[in-house]
Amino acid sequence: MDTGLAGKRVLVTGASGGIGAACSRAFAGEGCEVVVHYHQGRERAEALASELGGAPLVQADLRDENETDRLFGEAGALDVCAAVAGVWPEEDVPLWELPLARWEETLRANLTATFLTARGFLRGGGESLVLVGSTAGLFGEAGHADYAAAKSAVVHGLLLSLKNEVVRIGSRARVNAVAPGWTESPMTRGSLTPETLERVTRTMPLKKVAQPEDVAAQVVVLASDKLSGHVTGQVLTVAGGMEGRVIET
């Protein structure tokens, strides 16, 4: 199927991670010129850029306003942005024990970074933005109230405000979000023990976690004006049918 993305210039943030790398490969496979962003995973990002035939590589801490603005200056004119970068704190901590420092850092790494990314992209006139949230933002996640709150803000308040604002930039400008559930990636691999896998798939009829490519395919679909030109302000959940409740005992 022709996505109409050939020749488009696409920024993928967090491209050194599992979902970001898969998104970069998927866009490249559609004939896009992919700009690969990373923060700390330099070796993985360089390997990915080389795999994609020498893709442009940009480094920035997206929690920092000046660094994010510099990134967009270096990235040049963009047609599409996939705002994938985010951090899931692995340790389970109930809210009453959650330090303020972790709360603030999680919101900066997920919500503030997404805000700065969206702002930089839209200031440059970009018209197709895909945010990456999480099922934690839809159903909550015990032990990770900070992450759930940040991702909920991304896929609700931020997304729904932006879809009404972006048309001031272009009458066909769109913003959507993908909400992955448990996905095998460098960020989650250490937590996906057999016990955890058995527990989390109890809420899923498909009884498996996603691969990064499952998420990337939906990011590409939403980014495409040809496939999703009348879709904006929507959250596409990629989570094996997760319902947020145990459906089998």
Active site residues: 147
- Give the residue ranges of DSSP H helices in 30-99: 42-51, 65-75
User: What residues are paired with 132 via a beta bridge?
Assistant: 178
Residue 185, helix vs strand vs coil: coil
Residue position matching structure tokens 């498909």: 206
Residues 195 and 165: their CA atoms lie apart, in Å, by: 44
Task: List C-alpha distances in Å: 114 to 2, 93, 145, 169.
Answer: 29, 24, 18, 19
Task: List C-alpha distances in Å: 89 to 98, 111, 144.
Answer: 12, 14, 8
Task: List C-alpha distances in Å: 199 to 71, 135, 187, 247, 249.
Answer: 40, 15, 19, 11, 10
Residues 138 and 159: their CA atoms lie apart, in Å, by: 13
Residue 57, helix vs strand vs coil: strand
